[in-house]
Amino acid sequence: MGIVLDTVGQWIASYLQKEVPGYEPFTPSDPEHLRGVIDQGDVLLVEGNNRVSGIIKYLTQSTWSHAALYVGPIDGATEPDGEPHVLIEANIGEGVTSAPLSKYFPYHTRLCRPVGLSYEDRTTVCRYAINRIGFGYDTKNIVDLMRYLIPLPVPQRWRRRMIAFGSGDPTKIICSALIAQAFDAVRYPILPKITRAASKKARREILHIRDSSLYMPRDFDISPYFEVVKPTIVHGFDYTALHWADKQKPLQEVAGEFGVFPETIFAPPLVPQAPDQETPLPAAEVTRDSLERTPVQRQGSDLAA
């Protein structure tokens, strides 16, 4: 019976790992900039395009479906062309493996960096992941794999639990679980539970490490303890050096055909100006003014005279 379950599990894992045709990333990675910026301990998030990636993105409501840890060149692990393996990742059906950075050049990726992590702790995190190369998924735990074949609506409050539900040791369906364990080894937080304990004298926060099986790739993106690194702008960015496919016409403001500010238009003052007492009024205005006054006003003027 165990052989049958293992065979069925391998088949389901192979089916979930197949890529969906027609995938084209909106913003693929820049290989040269990524190589020059990535450092040990960085987490590379990937927008995958296989069947399980789509389900994970639905359950997590995120762009990211996969995560890999950059550990630097691994001794004895290279591609046929000599490119070293620098990433540690966990895949369904394969377990914990190493991979070259070029594997994810065609994909949309994001680089998340732990802030303030010491060199010693960074080395410990990388060594923890490297030492687990070869750890495999327990494909006999068929519940972990079969539930992804049923695309039923899942309430949001159950989605994170559904990813970890049924997982047995050492089975960890989500690839970010291994990375979470590596950072847990040095007590570096990702998204810890925070309990605020108030007292008369002080208030302190107690951090609780979550179960590693509950972590998802997007947690490194939204974590307040990881910095999002943009490889194309981290060393400066000159937008004027870009070469556009179409040569745009110069804007009217640049060509001088249109002024940014309109010409000054004379407007009368809001407060009427005081009349000049030295300048006599025209006869027409004097006559009109005397006609507009009431008889009482005219009689008062005559008496004053």
Q: Calculate mean pLDDT across residues 163-174.
A: 47
Residue 248 lies in a domain: no
> Which domain range does residue 203 map to?
2-241
Confidence grade of residue 166 (pLDDT, cut at 50, 70, 90)? very low
| Structure confidence at residue 152 (pLDDT) | 58
Residue 298 lies in a domain: no
CA distance 70 to 91: 16
Q: Calculate mean pLDDT across residues 109-121.
A: 96
Task: Please give the mean pLDDT across all residues of the chain.
Answer: 74
Given a contact cutoff of 8 angstroms between Cβ atoms, the answer to whether 243 and 204 are in contact is: no
Residue 176 lies in a domain: yes
pLDDT at 71 over 60: yes
Q: Where are the alpha helices (DSSP H) in the chain?
A: 2-17, 31-37, 51-60, 119-130, 142-146, 156-164, 176-184, 217-222, 252-255, 283-292, 295-304
Please classify residue 290 by burial: count the beta carbons closer than 10 Å to its beta carbon, then call 0-12 exposed, 13-18 middle and 19+ buried: exposed
Residue 255 lies in a domain: no
Residue 189 lies in a domain: yes
| Structure confidence at residue 100 (pLDDT) | 96
pLDDT digits (tens, 9 = 90+) for 241-282: 887 877 665 565 555 555 555 566 666 666 666 665 655 655
Residue 236 lies in a domain: yes
Confidence grade of residue 159 (pLDDT, cut at 50, 70, 90)? low
How far is residue 208 CA from its own chain's centroid?
Answer: 25
pLDDT at 289 over 60: no
Residue 225 lies in a domain: yes
Confidence grade of residue 81 (pLDDT, cut at 50, 70, 90)? very high
Domain total for the chain? 1
- The CATH number covering residue 207 comes to 3.90.1720.10
3-state SS class at 113:
strand
CA distance 298 to 305: 11
Residue 268 lies in a domain: no
pLDDT at 79 over 50: yes
The more confident residue out of 21 and 219 is 219
